Amino acid sequence: MFLTQISDLSHLQESAKLLLNHFSDERVFAFYGTMGAGKTTFIKAICHELGSNDYVTSPTFALINEYTTKSGSVIYHFDFYRIKKVEEAFDLGYEDYIFSGNYCFIEWPEMIEQLLPAGIVEVRIKEDVKGVRQVEAVKV
C-alpha cells in the first residue's frame, strides 16, 4: 500500500515520483475521488514525471487524451465521467489502450469498473477540510 499527503502544490511532484517508484512495474492506474479532489492535477504531475511536456487536461468530452514523453512513449488519460453506459467504453476501444503496455490513467473508473482488469493500481484521493489531499494507492 502507498500513502502520501499533499498539503500544497510544492509536494505534488514529489508525490507523483513516489507513486511511480512504488508501482514501477504497473501501467494501469484508476483514480477515484470526488469532483475537485485533484485527480487531473495529480495525473498532470505524473505525466510530467514520466517526461511528457504535453498540455495535460481532463479529457471530459473527448474521453481520452494521448500524451507523448520525450523518449517517444505514449501515455493514455481517460475520463469516463460522462459515459452513460459501459458499451461506450467498448466503442472507444478501451481494451486496445488498457492492454497496450503503455501508461493508462483513468478518471471516474467507477463507470467502467466491471471492465477493468485485475492487477491495476487504485488511487484514492481525499481532500480534508483544510484542503490537504490524502493519496492512498493499492494494487488490486
Tell me the residue range of the domain where 54 lies. Answer: 2-139
Domain at 103, CATH number:
3.40.50.300
Q: What's the mean pLDDT when you consider all of the chain?
A: 94
Nine cell digits for residue 128: 480534508
Helix (H, G, I), strand (E, B), or coil: what is residue 128? coil
Query: Which residues are registered as beta bridge partners of 123?
Result: 31, 137
Each residue of 89-108: pLDDT tens digit? 988 899 999 999 999 999 99
Each residue of 30-75: pLDDT tens digit? 999 999 999 999 999 999 999 999 999 988 778 899 999 999 999 9
| Structural domains counted in the chain | 1
Helix (H, G, I), strand (E, B), or coil: what is residue 48? helix
